[in-house]
Amino acid sequence: MKNLRIATFNINGIRARLPNLLEWLEREKPDIACLQELKAADKDFPAAQLESVGYGSLWHGQASWNGVAILARDAQPLESRRGLPGGDDDSHSRYLEAAVHGVLVGCLYLPNGNPQPGPKFAYKLAWFERLIDYAQGLQASDHPVVLAGDYNVVPTDMDIYNPRSWLKDALLQPESRECYQRLLEQGWTDSLRHLYPDERVYTFWDYFRQHWQKNSGLRIDHLLLNPVASPYLSEAGVDAWVRNQPHPSDHAPTWIRLSSRKRR
């Protein structure tokens, strides 16, 4: 296992936020970065600009909506899957998987599900079931696996500044949380919560009511590790300074470090 810094970042429009992304990559230098909400067709993905700062890339784009990408510092990710199984009629670009730097990385953008109840929430839960089914095989892999992305789930009330304001939101519904818990129960490690069991850590602050300025945040960006990868987990954090940049995404990059040696 190499010493790796692995991050996930919902960019909320890669063309609009490209300066922010490039600044973050050059400053923090993640070895692997998973991006969500590209909101760009494949032809508009800025591969050349990313390569100019040392990153090879894979992407699964979609005009105006969704879209995921995997970036690798000084390397080219080797694609292993595009889209989850069982979604022949699903046109959304939400899952991309690649081998990079000795780790298998799944980058995901789980459906938001609002408004609920309704067809969007039903789609969220159906997509989550497909993820749970597929993740069982990844969890049991003999290779280190990271499932990173915007899960659009607030796992517990400790992962939000004030649950009362979001009680009707799809991110906090019992069905959403139950799906996330079932995923963890396969044997995945929720990296940030594992290292910070008693701290409020946020990864998302919406654009309304000065939520960023008041630190009224949510934790919805997660990096899950299978049993082969989890013993190497040494650090985790949120690059919150990115959320304070001009014209920011409403998410901040969330990262972990896998050390070159197992924890004892």
The mean per-residue pLDDT over the stretch 158-162 comes to 97
Q: How far is the CA of 175 from the CAs of 171, 185, 189, in angstroms? A: 9, 15, 20
Give the span between the Cα atoms of 177 and 154, in whole angstroms.
7
- Coil, strand or helix: which one is 90? coil
The conformation of residue 106, written as its DSSP 8-state character, comes to: E
Closest to 67 measured CA to CA, from 13, 30, 21, 23? 13
Which residues pair with residue 258 across a beta bridge?
Answer: 4, 233
pLDDT per residue over 206-223, tens digit each?
A: 999 899 999 999 999 999
150 counts as catalytic: yes
Give me the pLDDT at residue 230, please.
Answer: 98
The answer, yes or no, to whether residue 26 has pLDDT greater than 70, is yes
Closest CA relative to residue 194, chosen from 257, 140, 114, 129: 257
For residue range 116-145, list pLDDT tens digits in order: 999 999 999 999 999 999 999 999 999 999
Q: Strand pairing of 254-258 and 233-238?
A: antiparallel
Pick the catalytic residue from 150, 159, 190, 250.
Answer: 150
pLDDT for the residue numbered 264: 64
Look up the pTM and report it: 0.97
Mean pLDDT, residues 72-99 taken together: 95
- Catalytic residue of the set 55, 95, 109, 202: 109
